[in-house]
Amino acid sequence: MASRKNTKKTSINIWSKLPKPYFILAPMDDVTDTVFRRIVGECAAPDIFFTEFVNVDGLQSPGRERLLNRLQFTSVEQPLIAQVWGKDPERYYQTAKELADGTFAEESSGLMDVNYAGIDINMGCPDKAVVKNGCCVALVNDRPLAQEIIQATKEGAAGRLPVSVKTRLGFNEVDYSWPEFLLGQDIAALTMHGRTRKQMSKVPADWSAIGKVRELRDRLNADTSIIGNGDVMSYQQGIELAAKHQLDGIMIGRGIFHDPYVFAKNSPWRETVALKRLELYRKHVQLFAETWGENGRNVRVLNKFCKVYINDFGGAKNLREQLMNAKNTTELSRLLEEAIDYTATQSKIA
């Protein structure tokens, strides 16, 4: 790849700025959009947010406009890391350049004075179709391309945004030569999901292996933060894992589905009554409708969140079934209002 020049000034490396261990909301497709990030932020904000992962090939194509909502954010979702994936180094370069110079912040969100805090490369998604196309965790088996992608992204960012990587322990088996290779690329941070591609999410995350990656980092004297990811269900569990394996940070993904306050030192969620849970879901639905409208994102996306809020109280299962069959946010809001009114009335009677 030809050498490129960019004269933009260097920015602060968010990974070295935050107190350790820091906590991160993991990037999840059709989950961690600007709406849910704001809900999580109101409940108990992580130290760092991630966008959904967005394809660089699509961003540098006629389909660009359709993908911009994956990068959309507000000034309250800070600091925010943009996660990208794809296969073409040239498109990584151009995407990184436009992330760093504020082009995507303005195009996606209309913001000119707030930008992303970093760029993360997804080298861990195990989706069959993605892997078949040679992307994400498939790069474990194509390290020359992985190196070219990282270099292109760093050149595009030109020091204005730190570049990090999120990946798995290996493809079919744990392979420490993979994180060793990545640590040799002078990246700002490396998030290790404690499973291989073959394991998907079928086995518990291997935190001892994540710890060995941190040990490897120390032996190589690499200036890269090490973040652990996999099966963390509470802030306290994250603190214990970070201390045990001497990690810089903890990333939480599916744990957020069990507790929207998962980043709180003392989560109130277990004691949160049905009325408050219903009201929080109503807020989520209203924000979704205001942000995306009826013709934006499909209302079915909200089904992923239904069990987060509508759980652990009498009649929750039947109410979930009604809510998940709603055809639009108007119907969904009506059903929630009825449930809130009924629950409030029953609370007064009790």
Kindly state the average pLDDT of the residues 118-130: 96
Kindly state the average pLDDT of the residues 182-200: 96
Kindly state the average pLDDT of the residues 103-123: 97
The number of residues in the chain equals 350
Give the Cα separation of 85 and 120 in Å (integer): 9
**Residues 6 or more apart whose Cβ sits within 8 Å of residue 320:** 306, 307, 310, 311
pLDDT of residue 322: 96
The one-letter amino acid code at 15 reads: W
Nearest to 252 by CA among 73, 54, 32: 32
**pLDDT of 5 higher than 70:** no
Q: What domains can be seen in the chain, in order of their start residue? A: 14-257 (3.20.20.70), 272-349 (1.10.1200)
Give the Cα separation of 237 and 265 in Å (integer): 10
**pLDDT of 206 higher than 80:** yes
Q: Is 24 left (phi over 0), alpha (psi -120 to 50) or beta?
A: beta
User: How many alpha carbons fall within 13 Å on the CB side of residue 76?
Assistant: 11
Kindly report the average pLDDT of the chain as a whole number.
Answer: 94
**pLDDT of 45 higher than 70:** yes
What are the pLDDT digits (tens) for 12-35? 799 998 999 999 999 999 999 999
Residues involved in catalysis: 125
Give the Cα separation of 178 and 197 in Å (integer): 13
What are the pLDDT digits (tens) for 287-314? 999 999 866 788 999 999 999 999 989 9
